[in-house]
Amino acid sequence: MNDRLSALLASRPLRRLLIAVGALALLGALFSLLYPLVFETYVGKVNAPLTFSSSQTLNDDEFEALAAELSWSARHAAAAAIVGGDPESFERQVKIEMLMQTPSRMREHEPSHIKYFRDAGIRRYEGPKTCLECHATMRVRDQEGRAQVVDTLDDLVNSVHFKFQSDAGGGFSTFGYDGRRVNAPGTRPIPIGKINRACGIPGSFSWTGWAALIAARPEAAQGAIEMRSEGCGQCHIGGNYQPATEKMMPIGDVPEVAKEGIDCLICHAAEYDMNQRYVIEDSAGLRWNQDRSLRAALTVGQATTRNCLLCHQHNMGGDAYAHNEAAQALGEHNPRLLHKGAKRGNPFSPESDVHAAAGLLCTDCHVPQGHKIPRGLMGVDLVANDLPEVEVSCVKCHSEAPHNRSQHKALLNGHLDRLACTTCHVRSLEENNVVLRDWVHPTWDPEEGIFKATDIYRSGAVGQGFTFLWFNGNGTFLANALGNHPDGSSTYDPLMQQLARIEDPEVIAAVRARATELKETYPHIDIDDYVRAATDPLSQLTPEQLEQRRALLERNLRVHMDEGQSKLYPFKLFNAMMYEDLGNQGPFGAMILPFDYATYHETGDSQAAMIQAIRDPIVRRMYETPFKLYMMDEFMAYFGVAEGWRTQYPLASGELRDVEPRWMRQMGSLKISHGIQPVGRDCIECHSPNGILDYQGLGYSPERAAELQHLDIVENLRPAG
């Protein structure tokens, strides 16, 4: 053996090869050991082993008691759904008891994992580790029904729910203001998603706003401090000290300790306790707690609508929505802050949506493929998309002729060529739907005992909280719906009109009233200027910038507006005033700067909160050359700034440079797809002189607009049946 080895080593080329292989292996080992450390140091984010207090070991007796309780309540609920009669009567209770003891009910309604855990001796839920003992791999079926076995953890870690970004290399229906499709073949792909996008609704980045503990002084507590939880991590499933920043890089992966933080149960447990969702602090920093009780684990199954809504009702109905279950359980410690202004204001619940009322599951339309969940082909906002090729649409179930009840069904169906179903079947949004949010001038909320961003204008009314735009599935880099009148129009120009201007006198009056109120706290506010900037954000541009904006729109976006078949869709409108880095400004906006939640909500000093946030190491890195070359130059190109990213850090020795508060230069448009009403709009709502559709603004000729406003058919029909 030794002889053979020495013989091998005697051959010089072979010796060299062995040395090379050894060196490579050494390098690889060093890399996998060192890279995570280097990366963490570079971006200033940490990963550490995680513990959760709810993860407790039960003895066998405790286990059986819990199992009996869960089984009883599940079977009882199933039986009670069937047995009729007076709900309080003894007769009914006896019938329910009998029914729930039948073997078939035992078999079908007892949570399946009671048996599995009992047999496997699992008496403690330890996070993904426990799930993966059995579910290390899973079978995933694609749209065509082809099955594939994948690594479960891998599938999840690479899903949008974990990493909030899409795989570089396409799938976006988003176009930069430079006319290029984001990450299309031929471009240099950059990571895109909520991970790296500052947004005016939450007012921060996922990096800077992940988890915060806020010392609140509620009126009711008479000056005593109560800690409150806030941050993006309250919904996102990673239970770590930071979002999955590692996934932004072309190399490296999220470390194993971070993967151990994934909260499987929030999506899969029927009995997940949202009171366990609050911010905790340990030696490594702040992070979000989660429910890892055996109780929750024993009730796992396919994700149900309830599971999805634990997080998603927050951005659909909103935290203040009466039927938001999660908002009733804000945390047993450090309760979560309620966001009273709704992001979309279109709830999904039996009370507000016909599909929820029909018992449809979210996954009936958003049919998952493993842990990848489709959001459809029509995405206007630049957020990540797991399955960009998978359609989610009304006609998949409803056919091209969905109306069957009305006498005028054929005429109603006739509208499908021009109108999205939601245009008629979403009648209004929640009243607290926020349209204009001023982050720069916070308002004291005595009830909660914190400063909050001032919602200058909220409305769920048509024409005020949301409007109708032509949409062909394309969107801009700042979430503006693209489309055009199907017969072609050169006058329809949403980025100069519908999305850049508020003309409704009611809205303007409301904004003025709020500005007048604000002036009491912020005397320097000039009310006229304030109202103008908020309702006519283009007034903040110089004439040159305006000219450049028009030119870019015509040259780069017009062609993508004319693509495909546009229909009218409803879009929620939103604008925010934030601090902006005017060193990185283009005709469509500037880089907005995030806020540090604790500073912001505690002190109400928005500037100090902003300065605190941009001191975050990763924001500093953003203003350095590697980040510029890797990501930001391309980012700015899509932003309509051909000169690239300027690395001048806005904070020089404590002084701000080129930072000003601004309203974004146009409103974002968020597509409204839930809150579907069974009865749609009446004809007269659109086909009348003061209807909800501004035909001329939408590119109809004056003659055609007049014709559509005065339809004899509609007049003959009133009131429509």
Partner 1 sequence: MNAPSGHPRSPLDHVRAPRRVEWRALTNRAPPLALLAILLCLCAIPLPASVAASIASEGADTAHSPAAAERQACLRCHAMPTLAYREPTTGDIVSLHIDPHALADSVHGQLACLDCHRRSYRRYPHPERAAPREFDCIGCHRDDDADLGRQWLGIDAEFQRSVHAVSTSPRAANFDCHTCHDPHRFRPAAVGEPLTEIVARHNAVCLSCHRRLLEPQRRSHAWLPNRDAHWQAVRCIDCHTPPAREANHEVLAAEQTERNCVGCHSSDPRLLAGLYRFRSEEEIARRGLLAQALFNEAYVIGMSRSPLLDRLSLIILGLLILALAAHGIGRYLVHRAGRDSRGRA
Minimum CB distance to partner 1 smaller for 302 or for 407: 407
Nearer Cβ to partner 1, position 124 or 408? 408
CB of 247 to partner 1, least distance (A): 42
Contact between 694 and 502 (Cβ < 8 Å): no
- The DSSP secondary-structure symbol of 351 reads T
Instruction: Report if residue 704 touches partner 1, rule: CB under 8 A.
Output: no
Interaction of residue 414 with partner 1, rule CB under 8 A: yes
Only one of the segments 138-146, 394-402, 467-475, 577-585 lies at the binding site for partner 1 (rule: CB under 8 A); that segment is 394-402
Q: State which residue, 330 or 693, has the beta carbon closest to partner 1.
A: 693
What is the helix, strand, coil percentage profile of the chain, to 5?
Answer: 40, 15, 45
Can residue 413 be called a binding residue for partner 1 (CB under 8 A)? yes
Toward partner 1, which CB reaches closer, 408 or 532? 408
Phi, then psi, of 469 in degrees rounded to 5: -135, 150
Q: Are 130 and 264 in contact (CB under 8 A)?
A: no
Say whether residue 411 binds partner 1 (CB under 8 A): yes
Tell the smallest beta-carbon distance from residue 426 to partner 1 (Å): 20
The minimum distance between CB 679 and partner 1, in angstroms, equals 18
Shortest reach from residue 567's CB to partner 1, in Å: 11
Query: Binding of partner 1 at residue 415 (CB under 8 A)?
Result: yes
Nearer to partner 1, 409 or 555 (CB): 409
According to CB under 8 A, which one of 410, 509, 559, 629 is a site residue for partner 1? 410
Residue 681 in contact with partner 1, rule: CB under 8 A: no
CA distance 189 to 441: 37
Which letter, b or e, does each residue of 196-227 get, where b requires 16 or more Cβ atoms within 10 Å of its Cβ? bbbbbbbbbbbbbbbbbbbebbbeeeeeeebe
Task: Give the count of beta carbons closer than 10 Å to the beta carbon of residue 703.
Answer: 8
Residue from 135, 713, 715, 718 touching partner 1 (CB under 8 A): that is 713
Residue of the chain from 119, 144, 400, 703 that contacts partner 1 (CB under 8 A): 400
Q: Which of residues 589-648 bind partner 1 (CB under 8 A)?
A: none
Which of 444, 419, 445, 330 minimizes the C-alpha distance to 695? Answer: 419
Q: What residue type is assigned to position 247 of the chain?
A: K
Q: Does 76 bind partner 1 (CB under 8 A)?
A: no
Measured between alpha carbons, how far is 65 from 691 in angstroms, rounded to an integer? 62
Strand-pairing partners, residue 519, are none
- Region from 108-116, 239-247, 334-342, 712-720 binding partner 1, contact rule CB under 8 A: 712-720
In the chain, count H helices and then E strands.
Answer: 30, 18
| Residue 417 interacting with partner 1 (CB under 8 A) | yes
What whole-number distance in Å separates Cα of residue 610 and Cα of residue 656?
10
The reply on whether position 401 binds partner 1 by CB under 8 A is yes
Choose one: 88-96, 250-258, 406-414, 586-594; the region binding partner 1 (CB under 8 A).
406-414
Task: Give Cα 398 distance to the centre of its chain.
Answer: 27
Helix axis angle, 505-521 relative to 527-535, nearest 10°? Answer: 130
Q: DSSP letter at 419?
A: B
Closest to partner 1 by CB, 99 vs 684, is: 684
Which of 200, 527, 183 is closest to 343 using CA atoms?
200
Residue number, 102 or 404, with CB nearest to partner 1: 404
The answer to whether residue 138 forms part of the interface with partner 1 (CB under 8 A) is no
Minimum CB separation from partner 1 for residue 719, in Å? 14
Name the one range near partner 1 by CB under 8 A: 127-135, 400-408, 461-469, 607-615.
400-408
* Using rule CB under 8 A, residue 3 touches partner 1: no
Neighbours of 459 (CB within 10 A): 24
Between 15 and 409, CB nearer to partner 1: 409
Interface with partner 1, residue 684, by CB under 8 A: no
Q: Cα separation of 413 and 199, whole Å? A: 38
Contact (Cβ atoms closer than 8 angstroms) between residue 482 and residue 475: yes
Among 129, 409, 615, 657, contact with partner 1 (rule: CB under 8 A): 409
Binding to partner 1 by residue 407, rule CB under 8 A? yes
* Residue 132 or 717 with smaller CB distance to partner 1: 717
Least distance from partner 1 to the Cβ atom of residue 713, Å: 5
Residue 394 beta carbon to partner 1: minimum distance, rounded to whole angstroms:
13
What does DSSP say about strands 567-586 and 226-230: parallel, antiparallel, or unpaired?
unpaired
Query: Of 11, 57, 404, 490, which lies in the binding site for partner 1, with binding defined by CB under 8 A?
Result: 404
Is 397 a binder of partner 1 (CB under 8 A)? no
Residue 166 and residue 373: Cα distance in Å, rounded?
Answer: 12
Nearer residue to partner 1 within complex by CB, 406 or 443: 406
CB atoms within 10 A of CB 568: 23
Residue from 137, 399, 516, 648 touching partner 1 (CB under 8 A): that is: 399
Q: How far apart are CA 248 and CA 553, in angstroms?
A: 30
Q: What is the DSSP string of 599-655?
A: HHHHH--HHHHHHHHHTSHHHHHHTSHHHIIIIIHHHHHHTT-TT------SEETTE
Beta bridge partners of 482: 474
For the bound state, the minimum distance from the C-beta of residue 209 to partner 1, rounded and expressed in Å, comes to 45
Which residue intervals of 377-525 are DSSP H helices?
395-398, 409-414, 421-425, 505-521
Q: Which region, judged by CB under 8 A, interacts with partner 1, from 257-265, 351-359, 411-419, 682-690?
A: 411-419
User: Which is closer to partner 1, CB of 390 or CB of 568?
Assistant: 568
Give the up-direction half-sphere exposure of residue 341: CA atoms within 13 A in the CB hemisphere.
22
- Cα-flanking dihedrals φ and ψ of residue 397, to 5°? -100, -40
CB of 571 to partner 1, least distance (A): 22
Kindly tell me which of 414 and 446 has the beta carbon lying closer to partner 1: 414
Q: Are strands 567-586 and 589-592 parallel, antiparallel or unpaired?
A: antiparallel
For partner 1, give the closer residue by CB, 366 or 403: 403
Q: Is 53 in the site for partner 1 (CB under 8 A)?
A: no
Q: Give the binding range for partner 1 (CB under 8 A) out of 7-15, 156-164, 262-270, 404-412.
A: 404-412
Q: Are 672 and 429 contacting, i.e. CB atoms less than 8 angstroms apart? A: yes
Q: Does 720 bind partner 1 (CB under 8 A)?
A: no
Q: Please say which residue, 656 or 720, places its beta carbon nearer to partner 1.
A: 720
Based on the shown chain and the rule CB under 8 A, indicate whether residue 82 belongs to the binding site for partner 1. no
Whose Cβ is closer to partner 1: residue 336's or residue 567's? 567
Q: Count CB-CB contacts under 10 A for residue 373.
A: 21
Question: Which residue's CB is nearer to partner 1, number 8 or number 713?
Answer: 713
- Binder to partner 1 among 254, 382, 416, 683 (CB under 8 A)? 416
Q: Is residue 719 within the footprint of partner 1 (CB under 8 A)?
A: no
Write the burial class of residue 515 (CB in 10 Å: 0-12 exposed, 13-18 middle, 19+ buried): buried
Q: How many residues bind partner 1 (CB under 8 A)?
A: 18
- Does 527 engage in binding with partner 1 (CB under 8 A)? no
Return the number of the residue (411 or 496) whose C-beta is nearest partner 1: 411
Q: Determine contact, residues 603/596, Cβ cutoff 8 Å.
A: no
Binding site for partner 1 (CB under 8 A): 399-401, 403-404, 407-411, 413-417, 713, 716-717
